[in-house]
Amino acid sequence: MSAAAVMMIINSMFLILGGIVVFMLGMEMMGSNLEKAAGKNIRKLMSKAAKNRFTGVGTGAAVTALVNSSAATTVMIVGFVNVGLMTLTQAASVIMGANIGTTISAFIMALSSSGSSYFSVTAVFALIAFAGFVITLVSKQDKVKRIGHILEGVGVIFIGLNVMSGAVSAMLAKDEISGAVQNVFIAIGYGKETLTWEIIVLFILGVVLTALMQSSAALTAIVISLASQNLITLQMAMCIILGANVGTCLTSLISSFGATVNAKRAAAVHLLFNVAGCLIFIFPVAFAGKYIAKFLNSFIGSTEWQIAIFHMFFNIVTTLLLLPFLKYLVKLACILVPDKKGKQEGTQDILDERLLKTPAIAVGQARREILRMGNLAFTNYKRSLDMLLSGKMDGKEQFDETERQINEMNKHITQFLIKLSSMEISETDEKKVSSFYHVTSDMERIGDYAENITEYAERLTVTDAKFSEHAVEEIRQMDMHLTELYKNVELAFADHDLRYMSKIEEEEEATDAMCKTMQQSHIRRTDEGRCNPETGAVFLQLAVNMERIGDHMFNIANSVKSYVGNSANN
């Protein structure tokens, strides 16, 4: 081969690699912005997955069509199972649907190769990309900018595909190169009616390349580019596509490292499903490929569209065949990934970093964890007050353990929020995350004041001092207002609902008034000689601490105002 031909091959390979990069950037741009635009809808779809296996399949297909990646959806699912948002059986049905949803990518690629000498689909989508760029440039509204980024992504996908296809065409324009390339594919199996050992080579090629690129869509794009230049037959393309379906499982397997046993089982279900599908199709493709090709040729002549149709047919048929055996697939995954003997699985990490791939759901999980932290802080407050009034320190050990847990959660939530704030999130979610920093701090401060109350309890226990009946009654009244305040604050924060604000304001004012009442009552009792200095000092400090707990609760409720106006139910 001449030096000019070698340089042409090198240049073409560089362009093909560049085309893959542009294509994947376009997929990422379009998928991430669609995901942000449909963040609330993704949460709703995922909640519907719990109903039955059919809604699970539909959910997986819809979400994957939105994010344009079955691997991304499966990583999400592994995260959901890991934090307990989804059961293993629900995850299995969603994974099946994800395989169907990803087939839309093949149709996009087939469309890019359509057109005539007078009409270029790629040129139209290049114009769409430019229109998207102009929109993002001139618009100041996030929602409009997001639409612009989606249009940019769609256009860039087609540009990337065109770069790949053009590089292959330019390389094959030289007879010297095209002859050599055709000889390679003939050696692999081009033109053969029945593939035997070649099917193993093509299948493994699909597995390895997809695992390396971490994207079955990228490999499908390459296969369609080769088919458009008549370098591979439909039968060869089908073998590579089958391998790509197994290779894409590597992403979910990697994502399950360090996760719970059930999360690892979800990744195993993904692998089992795709392997079973390949076993069902591999022999018909190997030995009856020419008949499948003839059947598809009878109603569509384009090999590119035939590949896209086969890709969808493979995933739909595999789902229909395996869906009735969903329970057995899950049982097999449980056998392959058994529970650890002699070990108890650790507590589920609700703020699993895998959820960052779906920021809208990650925001919801952060809120859920903050609520859990708040519940622990308020429980500790109740525990400290009980020790103070009863004079018994039996709950001190449990109190200390809960306080340690609150401090750890504060650090963990803050770290997660820092990572979440660096992600591309909607304007409303950005405001939520910003407010969550302050809410977490308020929750932690409530725990600190509970710790102060415990110290007062210890001080009184040492001196065997007790409050008077009137003092105890006032403390219980203050506690009643704090309990009612917490109940409404929790509802307002959990539901993003300002309807509770009037009750919250009423109870917060009641705690302020009760603090003054307690201080005035203390002065009166001191003047009357009914209060000793030790209990008096504790009583005054207690009143202030309880009032400040109410202030922090009120801060939490007020934080909802920063974003609830934009999306009351988001």
Least confident of 133-147, 182-196, 363-377, 542-556: 182-196
pLDDT exceeds cutoff 90 at 184: no
Q: What pLDDT score was predicted for residue 342?
A: 46
Alpha-carbon distance of 150 to 129, in angstroms, equals 9
Classified as helix, coil or strand, 337 is coil
Tokens of 8: 């042409």
| Averaged pLDDT for residues 391-406 | 91
Residue 301 backbone dihedrals phi, psi, to 5 degrees: -90, -20
- What's the one-letter identity of residue 54? F
Residue 208, judged by CB atoms within 10 A of its CB (0-12, 13-18, 19+), counts as: middle
358-564 fold: Methane Monooxygenase Hydroxylase; Chain G, domain 1 (1.20.58)
Q: What is the pTM of this model?
A: 0.65
Bridge partner list, 115: 120
3-state secondary structure 376-421: HHHHHHHHHHHHHHHCCCCCHHHHHHHHHHHHHHHHHHHHHHHHHH
According to DSSP, residue 345 is labeled: P
Residue 551: pLDDT over 90? yes
Q: Is residue 32 predicted with pLDDT exceeding 80?
A: no
Instruction: Give the pair of three-digit tokens for residue 30.
Output: 């379009």
Q: Decide if pLDDT at 172 tops 80.
A: no
**Residue range 151-170: mean pLDDT, rounded:** 80
Poorest-pLDDT segment among 23-32, 167-176, 234-243, 279-288: 167-176
Residue 486 reports pLDDT greater than 80: yes
Structure-model confidence comparison of residues 425 and 494, the more confident one: 494
The predicted pLDDT at position 116 comes to 46
Q: Which two tokens stand for residue 164?
A: 């790949």
pLDDT category, 447, cuts 50, 70, 90? very high
In contact, 81 and 41? CB cutoff 8 Å: no
Residue 547 has a pLDDT of 94
Give dist(CA 430, CA 569) in Å, integer.
15
Residues ≥6 apart with Cβ < 8 Å to 444: 373, 377, 406, 407, 410
Mean pLDDT is highest, among 257-266, 386-395, 443-452, for 443-452
Q: 347 pLDDT exceeds 50? A: no
Helix 142-172 to helix 3-37 angle, to the nearest 10 degrees? 160
pLDDT confidence of 59, banded at 50, 70, 90?
confident
Average pLDDT, the chain: 82
φ and ψ at 115, to 5 degrees? 115, -175
CA angle, corner 354, sides to 409 and 43, nearest 5? 90
Alpha carbon 174 to its chain's center: 47
Q: What type of residue sits at position 161?
A: L
pLDDT of residue 345: 45
What is the H or E stretch that residue 70 is in? Answer: helix 70-83
Domain boundaries, the chain: 3-174+187-336, 358-564
**Res. 403: pLDDT tops 80:** yes
Ramachandran region of residue 69, left (φ > 0), alpha (ψ -120 to 50) or beta? Answer: beta
Going by C-alpha positions, the residue among 487, 111, 74 that lies closest to residue 250 is 74
Give the model's pLDDT for residue 115: 52
Is the model's pLDDT at 395 over the cut of 60?
A: yes
* 120 beta partners: 115
Residue 552, CA distances (Å) to 4, 56, 365, 387 in order: 74, 41, 22, 22
Confidence band (pLDDT; 50, 70, 90) for 545?
very high
Q: What's the pLDDT tens digit per position in 499-537?
A: 999 999 999 999 999 999 988 887 777 666 666 767 788
Q: Band the pLDDT of 36: cuts 50, 70, 90.
A: low
- Positive or negative, the Cα torsion across 331, 334, 339, 344? negative
pLDDT at 48 over 80: no
If one compares 51 and 381, the residue with the highest pLDDT of the two is 381
**Phi then psi for 120, rounded to 5 degrees?**
-110, 115
Report how far residue 239's alpha carbon sits from residue 143's, in angstroms, rounded to the nearest whole number.
42
Structure confidence at residue 258 (pLDDT): 66
Residues 239 and 130: their CA atoms lie apart, in Å, by 37
DSSP string, 5-63: HHHHHHHHHHHHHHHHHHHHHHHHHHHHHHHHHTHHHHHHHHHHTTT-HHHHHHHHHHH
Residue with tokens 């590089």: 167
- pLDDT value at residue 565: 62
